[in-house]
Every structure is written in structure tokens, then in C-alpha cells.
């Protein structure tokens, strides 16, 4: 049976026990709350996890989840290009939580990292303010910084990608360690 490309939260809630759920957010976002039973394989680790995800898809249905749906759609696209059929959760974990469903958090997890969208908003706002201030106080050429952020936001909206998020995902707190990814892939193999 082939799963549709997107499932609503009520569909997932009733079928959660039969789905293999992979959360493609950063480890910090995942620690902040994830669907019950979800495994964390960040988007930048999907290529490395391809064989294991393919095996999981051969055993049953795989649901890819992120915060709002953009990264999970990207992961589903990558997997589809490699012959792996998956689905995504409409609206991601945000929609899941908004529907009143529980999010699980690992025990002993330190304070959760901000979500990627919040990190992007903080970084973009800081660069815009800094560019405007430097443009007023130092040299008008610094106003190119806010113009660059504006162009990046337009491009992000048009392509449904985010270069700034990709850069922020490389920060140490947002990256999964090789040992952690190996442990996650071993857990995926064991399902």
C-alpha cells in the first residue's frame, strides 16, 4: 500500500503505532519536542541514512516530519529521487501540537534550542538592524546588508528553501554527532 504524500494530524494520530516516524529537524529542535517514537535524522543526514530509510520503507510506511513541513518535503523529495516512498505530516510538529497532541522530550535533555525558524528570524533581524545602524553611523554601503537579507527572504519564499537556515543548521548545537546518528540508524534498523 502506498501512502499519500501528505497526511493530516488526525490520520497520523490513529496510525502512529504502525508508522516509522523520522524527524528531520536539528537535534536541538527535536529535543524541544517530537512526535512519540520519532527518530531524529536531520535533513543533512538523509543521504547518509538512505539505505536504512529504504529498508524501513520496505518493512512499512515511513512518515517524515519537521517543524512546519518544508524540510520534510525536501527530505521526501530526496528519498523519492532515490526510489523511497515516504509521506510528510501536514503542518509538521507545529500542527501536531496545535491539534492538542503530546510531544515527547528526551529525559535529561538540557534546555531546548530555539526552533530553526526562530533562529532565522533572530539572525535576520540582527543583521538588518546592524546594517541600518552601521549605514547611518559608519558608511552608507553597510545598508547593503539589510538589502541582502531582504533579497534572501524573497528568494526563500519563492523557492521554499532557506539558505540562512542551512547555515545555522551547521552550528554545533544544531548538529547531530556521528555517534548519535549511528545510534539512531541502529534503532531504525531494529524496528
**Catalytically annotated residues:** 66
Q: How far apart are CA 170 and CA 167, in angstroms?
A: 6
Nearest to 174 by CA among 22, 29, 24: 29
Nearest to 29 by CA among 19, 13, 46, 41: 41
Centroid of chain to Cα 133: 33
Centroid of chain to Cα 142: 32
SS3 sequence of 109-130: CCCCCCCHHHHHHHHHHHHHHH
Amino acid at each position: 500500500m502506498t501512502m499519500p504524500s501528505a497526511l493530516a494530524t488526525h490520520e497520523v494520530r490513529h496510525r502512529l503505532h504502525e508508522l516509522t516516524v523520522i524527524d528531520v529537524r536539528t537535534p536541538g529542535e527535536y529535543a524541544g519536542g517530537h512526535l512519540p517514537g520519532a527518530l531524529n535524522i536531520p535533513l543533512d543526514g538523509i543521504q547518509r541514512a538512505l539505505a536504512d530509510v529504504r529498508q524501513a520503507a520496505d518493512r512499512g510506511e515511513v512518515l517524515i516530519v519537521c517543524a512546519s513541513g518544508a524540510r520534510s518535503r525536501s527530505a521526501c523529495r530526496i528519498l523519492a529521487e532515490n526510489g523511497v516512498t515516504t509521506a510528510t505530516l501536514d503542518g509538521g510538529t507545529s500542527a501536531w501540537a496545535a491539534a492538542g497532541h503530546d510531544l515527547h522530550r528526551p529525559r535529561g535533555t538540557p534546555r531546548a534550542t530555539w526552533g530553526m525558524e526562530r533562529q532565522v528570524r533572530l539572525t535576520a533581524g540582527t543583521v538588518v538592524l546592524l546594517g541600518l545602524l552601521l549605514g547611518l553611523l559608519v558608511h552608507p554601503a553597510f545598508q547593503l546588508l539589510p538589502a541582502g537579507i531582504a533579497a534572501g527572504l524573497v528568494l526563500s519564499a519563492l523557492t521554499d528553501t532557506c539558505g540562512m537556515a542551512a547555515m545555522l543548521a551547521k552550528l554545533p548545537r544544531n548538529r547531530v554527532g556521528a555517534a548519535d546518528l549511528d545510534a539512531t540508524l541502529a534503532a531504525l534498523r531494529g524496528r
